[in-house]
Structures are given as C-alpha cells and as structure tokens.
Amino acid sequence: MRASNPELKILKKIFILQDLEEAELVDVRAASVPREFSAGSVILTEGDPGEQMYILLAGEVEVTKRLLLPIDRTALLERIMNRLNSGDGVTLGEMALIENDVRSANVTASTDCRMLELSKEKALLLFNQNPAMGVKILFRLSQLLSKRLRKSDEDIVKLTTALVVALER
Amino acid sequence: MRASNPELKILKKIFILQDLEEAELVDVRAASVPREFSAGSVILTEGDPGEQMYILLAGEVEVTKRLLLPIDRTALLERIMNRLNSGDGVTLGEMALIENDVRSANVTASTDCRMLELSKEKALLLFNQNPAMGVKILFRLSQLLSKRLRKSDEDIVKLTTALVVALER
C-alpha cells in the first residue's frame, strides 16, 4: 500500500524513524497495517504480551502506568498520566520490536484514533532486507530507551532521598 | 591487530556481541584499543562525559552509583554496589556508543584489569561498513537497555509504595 503525503509527514516526526530516507519510510508504511480505535477503547494493557508497535497517525491517547504495589489499605492504585497526540510523533509499544516481554504501560484512545501497526516479525524482515535502515532505526531506539533509563534512574535517586527523609522524621 | 583465542572466547560472552560471527568479532577487536588499569584506579566517573565503551578482558571491577540527592544532613552519599569480573562478559559505558551524555555510574578497578576500549567513532564506522553487524549489536543493546529500564521502573513502583507507607505512619 502506498503512503499518502500526510502520512509521510507524520512518519518523519517519529523519533525512531527520523534518520530514514523517504523511500525507507514508504517501506515501513508498506510493512504496516492500518488500525482504527474508537474513543475510549483500550489499545495496550500493562502486563499483557505484545508483539506490535503502533504509530499514531490521528487522534489522542492517554498513557497510564501502575504506580503502587497492590497493598491492602489502598483499593485504588494511583497512575501516572500522559496525554499524547498525533502531532507529537508518537510510537507506542516500541519495546515489542526487540524483546518478548509484556506491555509496560496502559494506553487508551481518548479520541477516535488512526494507527499503523508494525509487528516485530515485519520489523525484523525490514532490518534483514535493508540492514542500513535497521541500523538507523535501532540506533534511535537505543537512544530513546537510554533517555528513559536515565530519567527513571533520576527518579529512583529522588524517591530514595524522599524515603530516607520520611523515615528520619 | 589480530584477536587471540582467549580474547575471542571472552568476546563471545559479551551480551551485545552474542549474535556476531567470529570474523565480525575479529573486526570489533581490530577496531578496539587495549587498555590496562591498575588495581584501585578509576575507570569511569559518574557525571563525566565519555565516548568509549569498555570490554573487560581480565580482572574485576566495582560499579557504584549515587543513591541519594545531596541533602544537608547526610554528608555521606550512599551507593549501590556491584562487583563484576571478566568471566561474566562485562561491558562498561556501552550507552556512550549511541548518545552524547555523561557516565551513569562510577567504575573502579578492584584488581589489575585488562580492557578493550571501543570508541563511539569506531563503532559508527563498523556499523557503516557492515550494517548487518550493526543491526545485531544495536538489537542486543536495545534489549539490554530495555531490560534495565523495566528493572528501574519496578524499583520506582516499589519505592513509591514504600514512600506512601512511610508517610502514612
């Protein structure tokens, strides 16, 4: 399936696709399947297995994450909120391209959403057919994960400090 | 410089090099520079810039990390400890291959150490000359970072839970 111009414009904004030539973006588009999610529907569920990455072409999604271990006294688990819209160059579930693990967050459609779904299988095929494109995508994916890791490690230092202060009261 | 057999045996144990053919390991070895660190010397300093990854060929290192924000009352900052030895297939500073950021931990030589140093520049050259090898290395590097990210995110959930419990006392 050929990529339309507005779609290519969105693909160019995607962090892990930013180094690709236009012809390579067209190949990524061709390896993907269009998906529609209506407002309110669940796209990814934390803890579920998953082998697809999603690119948000139109609409807005909400990302939530379990923040607390289930402890007796709190019936409600708190969640971190994040709202992302298609103008931001959003990928969801991109860790599925490189591992066999469960989803690390919940994603819900806040509005009707149009997505591209790229399976791990199709991504590996693309990397195999065009390793130079594979290097470009995996290099940026590593950067994305490394940025997130540094952010999480900073949060751990902050939380540990807060915990020490709380316990010393 | 040719890779000796014992060196190749260690390179084969390195997580991010595990999918490489022997000839590719020889290329990684050829792109690297041998380095020696005497017992007690500092290899990496948290917060310092760095553009090299290290492979531990012989010896043992200690990895430490700042655990607390500098708060007035605690003169001593606590640290997480980790001891790694050359039999474990150890890479240090591998995030430097894909970003321009500071070191995320301190590494000290516990014994005399023999290392291979691979610069970001040389790694990019390798990926460029042999993109299929680049895909294999960057795929595993993404996996490594994604595993660490999941571990850090679990620690955040645990610490947040502990903090909520501590504040409710």
Contacts of A143 in chain B (CB under 8 A): 98-99
Closest residue of chain B to A168, computed from CA coordinates: B166
DSSP string computed for B17-40: GTT--HHHHHHHHHHSEEEEE-TT
CB within 8 Å: B99 and A146:
yes
Q: What is the pLDDT along chain A (169 residues), one digit of tens a residue?
A: 555 688 899 999 999 999 999 999 999 999 999 999 999 999 999 999 999 999 999 999 999 888 777 665 554 565 666 889 998 899 999 999 999 899 989 999 999 999 999 999 999 999 999 999 999 999 999 999 999 999 999 999 899 888 888 888 7
CB A148 within 8 A of CB B156: no
Residues in CB range of B80: below 8 A, 6 or more apart: B63, B64, B65, B67
pLDDT in tens, B107-139: 999 999 999 999 999 999 999 999 999 999 999
Of the candidates A71, A104, A128, the beta carbon closest to that of B161 is on: A71
What is the distance between the alpha carbons of residues A57 and A37, in angstroms, rounded to a whole number? Answer: 11
What is the distance between the alpha carbons of residues A158 and B30, in angstroms, rounded to a whole number? Answer: 42
CB A43 within 8 A of CB A63: no
What distance separates the 2 farthest-apart alpha carbons in chain A?
63
Interface test with B, best of A69, A80, A129, A135 (most B CBs within 10 A): A135
CB within 8 Å: B135 and A139:
no
CB within 8 Å: A142 and B143:
no
Q: What are phi and psi of B122, to 5 degrees?
A: -70, -35
What is the distance between the alpha carbons of residues A126 and A56, in angstroms, rounded to a whole number? Answer: 20
CB within 8 Å: B163 and A166:
yes
**Which is nearest to B111 in space by CA: B85, B82, B79, B91?**
B85
Single pTM value for the model: 0.92
Contacts of B132 in chain A (CB under 8 A): 131
> What is the number of CB-based contacts under 8 A between chain A and chain B?
130
Residue with tokens 């130079």, as numbered in its chain: A132
Closest residue of chain A to B146, computed from CA coordinates: A145
Q: What angle do CA B90, A134, A35 make, to 5 degrees?
A: 120
User: Chain A within 8 Å of B155 (Cβ-Cβ)?
Assistant: yes
Of the candidates A73, A138, A165, the beta carbon closest to that of B142 is on: A138
The bridge status of strand A106-109 relative to strand B91-92 is unpaired
What is the distance between the alpha carbons of residues B162 and A166, in angstroms, rounded to a whole number? Answer: 10
